[in-house]
């Protein structure tokens, strides 16, 4: 199946926020090939959590505006939760369980046909999920 | 228009050739118009606009928190650290 683009995990978005040139370069080349680069619901939640914790209102407002233009992959399909629960059981049976947040991110990516970009190696345990690490290339 | 009817209107061969040439050109223009219609230019332009917005938004995130103090950075890093969503009881329940 043809991928619609890439969804970035929180560690990759944080690297971009911390001015990692590699991430920005990959976003630019990906956009040139007409593929989307998106944030996913869990990463949005985690970054927003960080901004709320430092209580910088202007940053929160700016982040909201940025995310409006970025587009977010939400957990807006029952299929995502069905995939996530099946994945949890599968990994659990094999003794390879990963955190719930990771399971949900992986399921959003798989169901919506996106490649996940992450610096976490444990996503390799997830069947069907295509993972790239833009910090290691 | 059928050639016989054209010949009734345009008597001279030069006139007929002129008509045929114009006809071919208009057909070509119609073809191009159809192609552009099929390509759905407004949709293409809208897509390009979205793409630009998307890239611009990612550019804005580059160095987005440059003005944070070391303490704020520490707080931010701690807050975004992934932790079990449903795995632990609320500390207030203990």
What confidence category does residue A123 fall into, taking pLDDT thresholds of 50, 70 and 90? very high
Q: What is the pLDDT of residues B43-73, one digit of tens each?
A: 666 666 666 889 999 999 999 999 999 999 9
Chain A positions in Cβ-Cβ contact with residue B85 (cut-off 8 Å): 99-101, 104
Residue B35 clears pLDDT 70, i.e. is over it? no
Chain B CB within 8 Å of residue A24 CB:
yes
Q: Is A58 helix (H, G, I), strand (E, B) or coil?
A: helix
Beta bridge partners of A117: A8, A132
Q: Is A111 helix (H, G, I), strand (E, B) or coil?
A: helix
pLDDT of residue A128: 93
Q: Is A6 helix (H, G, I), strand (E, B) or coil?
A: strand
First to last CA, chain A: 24
pLDDT of residue B6: 60
Q: What is the pLDDT of residues A57-102, one digit of tens each?
A: 999 999 999 999 998 999 999 999 999 999 999 999 999 999 999 9
Nearest neighbour of B80 by CB, restricted to A49, A62, A70: A49
Chain A positions in Cβ-Cβ contact with residue B53 (cut-off 8 Å): 69
**Is this model's pTM higher than 0.90 or not?**
no
Residue A47 clears pLDDT 80, i.e. is over it? yes
**CA atoms of A71 and A102, how far apart (whole Å):** 20
pLDDT of residue B84: 74
Count of C-beta atoms within a 10 Å radius of residue A37: 23
Residue A110 contacts by C-beta under 8 Å, 6 or more apart in sequence? A83, A126, A128, A129
The residue in chain A having the minimum alpha-carbon distance to the alpha carbon of residue B52 is A31
Do residue A34 and residue B58 have CB atoms under 8 angstroms apart?
no
Of residues B14 and A47, more confidently modeled? A47
Closest-CA distance of chain B to residue A79, Å: 20
Residue A125 clears pLDDT 70, i.e. is over it? yes
Nearest neighbour of A69 by CB, restricted to B57, B63, B77: B57
- List the structure tokens of B79: 């807050």
Task: State the average pLDDT for chain B.
Answer: 75
Closest-CA distance of chain B to residue A95, Å: 16
Nearest neighbour of B79 by CB, restricted to A27, A50, A59: A50
Strand order in the sheet with A36-40: A72-73, A36-40, A5-8, A114-117, A131-132
């Amino acid at each position: 199946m043809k991928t619609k683009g890439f969804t970035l995990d929180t560690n990759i978005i944080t690297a971009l926020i911390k001015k990692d040139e590699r991430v920005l370069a990959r976003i630019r080349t990906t956009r040139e090939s007409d593929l989307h680069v998106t944030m996913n619901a869990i990463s949005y939640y985690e970054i927003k959590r960080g901004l709320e914790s430092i209580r910088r209102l202007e940053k929160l407002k700016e982040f909201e505006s940025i995310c409006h233009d970025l587009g977010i992959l939400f957990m807006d399909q029952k299929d995502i939760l069905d995939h996530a629960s099946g994945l949890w059981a599968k990994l659990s049976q094999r003794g390879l369980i990963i955190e719930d947040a990771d399971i949900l991110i992986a399921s959003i990516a798989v169901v919506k046909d996106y490649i996940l970009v992450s610096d976490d190696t444990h996503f390799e345990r997830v069947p069907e999920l295509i993972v790239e690490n833009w910090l290691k290339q | 228009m059928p050639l016989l009817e054209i010949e009734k209107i345009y008597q001279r061969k030069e006139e007929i050739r002129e008509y045929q040439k114009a006809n071919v050109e208009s057909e070509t223009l119609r073809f191009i118009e159809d192609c552009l219609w099929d390509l759905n230019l407004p949709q293409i332009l809208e897509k390009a606009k979205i793409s630009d917005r998307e890239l611009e938004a990612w550019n804005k995130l580059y160095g987005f928190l440059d003005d944070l103090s070391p303490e704020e950075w520490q707080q931010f890093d701690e807050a975004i650290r992934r932790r079990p969503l449903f795995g632990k009881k609320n500390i207030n329940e203990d």
